[in-house]
Every structure is written in structure tokens, then in C-alpha cells.
Amino acid sequence: KNEVEQSPQNLTAQEGEFITINCSYSVGISALHWLQQHPGGGIVSLFMLSSGKKKHGRLIATINIQEKHSSLHITASHPRDSAVYICAVRSSGGGADGLTFGKGTHLIIQP
């Protein structure tokens, strides 16, 4: 079982819809990242959070440490939001701090 599970795997929505992508993890973490990957491969870091909620423009990320769950929300979605959204965690164990990634959620926003 993957340590980081995302749902849904694929999501198609209409422009303007409110989008929610979920992430569950099974290990203790020191931080959780939400990343965006466009076709061609480049990855952009959207949020790094260890508690509570963060907001940037139309994007909102929340995390519940007790439930080991995080959500990424997109308000007023737009076709340019179409991308793969990846959840990644940094384990709270000592030593290396490379990220463990989910498989990603492929989001398509139709005009």
C-alpha cells in the first residue's frame, strides 16, 4: 500500500466549479506539500504545510494531522488550472528528508 494516497485519480469539471482533491497518508510527517505538474514535466510547489490552512489566490490547502488527511481546493476553476496535482509528505523520522509522493490527480477544467 502506498504511503500517500490521493483521490480522485482523474477529475474533469466545468469552468467555475469548486474543486477538491484529497490526500491521505499513513506515516508521521513533519510537512505536507501540494505540487502542480504541467504537461512536459515541470513541477511547481504550491503549498508546504504542517498544520491548519493556507490560502494563495484561488487555491486553499488544509491539513488535519490527527486524521492524516489533507485537501487542496480550487475556487472558481479555470482551464489554465488543468494539470496534475501531487501530494507529497516529508516523514517525521530522522535522517534524510526526501519527499514521498502520491500518484497525482489529473485535473481537466473544460471551458
Partner 1 sequence: EAEVAQSPRYKITEKSQAVAFWCDPISGHATLYWYRQILGQGPELLVQFQDESVVDDSQLPKDRFSAERLKGVDSTLKIQPAELGDSAMYLCASSFGRNQPQHFGDGTRLSIL
Determine if 32 is a binding residue for partner 1 (CB under 8 A): no
Q: Does residue 59 interact with partner 1 by CB under 8 A?
A: no
Candidate segments 13-21, 39-47, 61-69, 71-79, binder of partner 1 by CB under 8 A: 39-47
* Residue 79 main-chain phi, psi, to 5 deg: -50, -30
100 binds partner 1 (CB under 8 A): yes
Instruction: List, as one string, the DSSP characters of the chain.
Output: --SEEEE-SEEEEETT--EEEEEEE-S-EEEEEEEEE-TTS-EEEEEEESSEEEEETTEEEEEETTTTEEEEEESS--GGG-EEEEEEEEESSSS----EE---EEEEEE-
Q: Is 94 in the site for partner 1 (CB under 8 A)?
A: no
Q: 67 is written with which cell numbers?
A: 486524521
Which position among 19, 83, 86, 109 is part of the footprint of partner 1 (CB under 8 A)?
86
89 near partner 1 (CB under 8 A): no
CB of 44 to partner 1, least distance (A): 7
Question: In the complex, which residues of this chain contact partner 1 (CB under 8 A)?
Answer: 4, 30-31, 33, 35, 40-45, 48, 86, 88, 90, 95-104
